[in-house]
Amino acid sequence: MAATTLATAEGKRPSARLRRLEDERWLALVLLTPTAVLLGLFIAYPFVEGVLLSLSSARVGDPGQFVGLKNFYKIWNDSIFHTTVWNTFWYTGVTTVFKLALGLWLALLLNRHFRGKAIIRAFILLPFIIPTVLSTFAWKWMFDPTFSVINWTLFQLGLITTRINWLGDPDLAMTSIIVINIWRGVPFFAITLLAGLQTISPELHEAAAIDGARPWARFWHVTWPLLMPVTLVVVLFSVIQTFADFQLVYVMTGGGPANATHLFATYAYQLGIGTGLLSEGAAISLAMFPFLFIIVVAQLLYIRRVETR
Tell me, yes or no, whether 92 and 49 share the same domain: no
Beta bridge partners of 66: 56
Residue 2 pLDDT exceeds 80: no
Tell me, yes or no, whether 134 and 21 share the same domain: no
Residue type, 122: A
pLDDT per residue as tens digits for the range 37-80 = 998 888 888 889 888 999 998 888 788 888 888 989 998 999 99
Residue 5 pLDDT exceeds 60: no
The domain that holds 256 is classified in CATH as 1.10.3720.10
Q: How far apart are CA 277 and CA 58, in angstroms?
A: 7
Average pLDDT over residues 25-47: 86
pLDDT per residue as tens digits for the range 240-250 = 889 989 999 99
User: Is residue 44 one of the residues assigned to a domain?
Assistant: yes
Look up the domain containing 121 and give its range: 80-308
113: CB partners within 8 A, 6+ apart: none
User: Is residue 231 one of the residues assigned to a domain?
Assistant: yes
Q: How far apart are CA 106 and CA 27, in angstroms?
A: 44
Which residue, 194, 235, 193, 202, is CA-closest to 98?
235
Tell me, yes or no, whether 225 and 173 share the same domain: yes
User: Is residue 60 one of the residues assigned to a domain?
Assistant: no
Across 49-53, 135-139, 175-179, 232-236, the highest mean pLDDT is recorded for: 175-179
Tell me, yes or no, whether 35 and 172 share the same domain: no
Q: What is the pLDDT of residue 19?
A: 66
Burial class (CB in 10 A: 0-12, 13-18, 19+), 114: exposed
Q: How far apart are CA 297 and CA 50, in angstroms?
A: 22
Average pLDDT over residues 26-45: 86
pLDDT per residue as tens digits for the range 146-198 = 888 888 888 888 888 888 889 888 899 999 999 999 999 999 999 999 988 88
Tell me, yes or no, whether 203 and 281 share the same domain: yes
pTM of the full structure? 0.85
How sure is the predictor about 7, in pLDDT bands with cuts at 50, 70 and 90? very low
Beta bridge partners of 62: 59
Residue 255 pLDDT exceeds 70: yes
Q: What is the pLDDT of residue 290?
A: 87
User: Is residue 9 one of the residues assigned to a domain?
Assistant: no
Q: What share of the chain is helix, strand, coil (3-state, %, to 5)?
A: 75, 0, 25
Which residue, 185, 171, 179, is CA-closest to 241?
185
Higher pLDDT, 73 or 113: 73
